[in-house]
Chains A and B, each alone.
Chain A
Amino acid sequence: MIYDEPRYMPGGDRYMLIEFGNEMNLELNFMAQGLAGAIAAQRLKGVVETAPCFASLLVHYEPEDISFEDLKSEMSRLIAALGPSDDIELPSRLFYFPTAYCDPWTRAAIEDYTAKINPQKEYDPAFVARLNGLSGPEQLVRVHSGSEYWVASLGFWPGLPFMMALDPRCVITAPKYNPPRTWTPQGTVGMGGASTAIYPVATPGGYQIFARIPVPIWDPKRRFSVFEDSICLFRPGDRVKFVPVSVQEFEEAERQVADGSYQYNVVGYQKFSVAQYKSWVASLDRGKRF
């Protein structure tokens, strides 16, 4: 449900968690990001930083500048001023990534897991397709690459995006690995629950994996200007489109990344309008798949 009034919960002496509801619903994330934007625009004294997540916003504050109760009043005022979520417009960049689906690298990680940890594990693309009533890995690729993805939150590892499919016809779900994998190749695309993630570096992981991008989303050597003042590519509210490519095209992009000539394909002129998004979603036949 979406709460009539958000819940304001303390986390020690410096944090407030604002919960907008208790379900997986993009609308709650739009509210969290809308509030984060309003706080930033007002340069509210005492707020150090904010971090949106699926249904909530964490606020880090300086209690010497603002008390918990005063912060709560300020937040309540800003939320009222935001109005209904339909009025929210969020700056939103769109990243196009060449994506090798059912690629040899994630296959190797899955096969290693099957050999060493769980021989019963079904090949991830086949498993996810079957669970979601799709005809097989080919349709999984069509469905998964058919939508833009919304960066709802970042975490687990710096710069790791948790993304939701914006097109309801492309929403699929997947359980997590149990036990988790000990390694996942850098740039792997995977799913857990209803969220899609990209692994910024090689790490252990629990998502079902079925694709890989050659493009860095983590740039500690600061080789690419698109990262601006950070070494993580994404901000909450960015969008991602996975463009299926062959292994050959993947490797060509990988070479360009290595020699520094790779051009990120980013669209930066759009704003995301919640009202327009909702009216578009209302026009769709959600039962249809690509």
Chain B
Amino acid sequence: MIEVLKPGLETSVQDYPGRIGFWNQGFPPSGPMDSWSFRLANVLVGNQPGAAGLEAQYIGPTLKFQRDTVIALTGADMGAKLDDAPVPLWRSITVKAGQVLAMGAARVGTRCYLAIAGGIATDPWLGSRSTFHQAGVGGMEGSALKLGHVVPVAAGAGTPGREVKESARPPIRTDKRWDVEVCAGPNDDWIDAAGQARFLSADWKLSAKSNRTGFRLDGPEWTFTENATNKPPEHGSLPSNIIDHGYPLGAINLAGQTPIILVNDGPSMGGFINPYTVPSAAFWKLGQSKPGEIYNFRQISVAEAQAMARHLKAMCTEASII
């Protein structure tokens, strides 16, 4: 059991791949935004890669452990200390009952992951422990951690001193610029050639009006093909309106002129086009970036995106541990 002394800024229980199978009822998967770091934290402490752990964002929590265990921190550097001793990232460590793990503001990256040997053992909701804040479902009573919460942990036996190879860690950028892969589609044919070229060459700034449902981007105007202007009236009045359709996770959803990347807690459907989609293997970059930082999008094929996901999955295993 872990006692919450300070909750941090929206620290939540997540598992991977999250709440899958309920998209046709409007349920998003939720789960960790940077599943690369998340899975490796679990591997470090001997859990299945998808076991439930904590996602801390921007400012981490302060937690008191009620029994001896093994933990690992991955992802963003939040200057974590265990009873005042600095805690290394990407390494499993022993924690004694009564010790306090204090995390601060993210210095490099945005989201830090904590895995505990055995995994967090809250009651699953629709097959997943992931927190979906907006609907108050999953995690600790449907919300982010609160002061006084006691987080249940299953029994587990981890080994301290295990470390993730340098080459297997996500290269979190420190220069505020991110190259983010995209696949064209489903609705790229609504954007004209100039608009497509502009999308792929522009700087897109991540807006502060972003959360786990969507990442809003500020950038240049979009221009459209005839599909957007010459269409039956039931599509809606804006060029980017289309008859409501299902949204892929990662879709770059064009709400009027504002692109919003639909992320882990995003909507399942709606009435805007999705000219591009961020593939699953690039999500970790979204998870580790901050508002104000710049995305440059690089188009890859669906086959390349699938190869990236396979490669990432292979890296989130024992093969990456030394």
Contacts and interface: CB of A to CB of B under 8 A. Distances in A.
Q: Is chain B's interface secondary structure helix, strand, loop, or mixed overall?
A: mixed
A58 B23 CA distance: 9
B151 interface: no
B183 A10 contact: yes
Contact of B136 (A22, A194, A220, A232): A220
Given A56-B245, A56-B246, A220-B135, 19 more contacts: A10-B183, A10-B184, A11-B183, A12-B183, A13-B302, A17-B186, A17-B248, A48-B20, A50-B24, A51-B268, A51-B269, A55-B245, A60-B20, A63-B306, A64-B310, A153-B24, A156-B270, A162-B269, A220-B137
A255 interface: no
Contact of A11 (B186, B234, B281): B186
B193 interface: no
Contacts of A15: 186, 248-249, 277
Contacts of B137: 158, 220, 231
Contact of A230 (B25, B234, B279): B25
A54 interface: yes
Interface in B262-279: 267-270, 274, 277-279
A234 interface: yes
20 contacts: A9-B186, A11-B248, A12-B278, A15-B249, A17-B185, A17-B186, A23-B243, A49-B20, A51-B23, A51-B24, A51-B246, A52-B24, A55-B245, A56-B246, A155-B246, A155-B269, A220-B135, A230-B126, A231-B126, A234-B25
B269 A53 contact: yes
B249 A14 contact: yes
Contacts of B126: 229-231
Q: Is chain A's interface secondary structure helix, strand, loop, or mixed overall?
A: loop
B281 A156 contact: no
Contacts of B278: 12
Interface string B9-31: 00000000000111111110000
Nearest to B24: A51
- Which residue among A57, A154, A158, A232 has the maximum number of chain B CB atoms within 10 Å of its CB? A158
- Which residue among B24, B231, B268, B280 has the maximum number of chain A CB atoms within 10 Å of its CB? B24
A91 interface: no
B187 interface: yes
Contacts of A234: 25
B244 interface: yes
Nearest to B236: A193
Interface string B133-165: 001110000100000000000000000000000
- Nearest 5 A-B pairs (CB), nearest first? A58-B246, A11-B248, A12-B277, A15-B248, A155-B269
Given A58-B246, A193-B234, A11 B277 contact: yes
A63 B302 CA distance: 10
A51 B28 CA distance: 12
A236 B235 CA distance: 21
A201 B137 CA distance: 13
Contacts of A68: 302-303
Assign chain A's interface to a size class: 35 or more
B281 A17 contact: no
Contacts of B235: 22
Interface of B: 20-27, 125-126, 135-137, 142, 183-187, 231-232, 234-236, 243-251, 267-270, 274, 277-281, 302-303, 305-306, 308-310
B21 A153 contact: no
Contact of B244 (A9, A53, A60, A157): A53
Interface string A6-44: 000111111101010011100000000000100000000
A159 interface: yes
Contacts of A14: 248-249, 279-280, 309
Contacts of B310: 63-64
B67 to A, nearest CB: 31
A191 interface: no
Contact of A12 (B234, B243, B246, B248): B248
B184 to A, nearest CB: 8
Contacts of B247: 58
A213 interface: no
Nearest to A48: B20
Contact of B26 (A13, A67, A232): A232
B136 to A, nearest CB: 7
A10 B302 contact: yes
Contacts of A156: 26, 267, 269-270
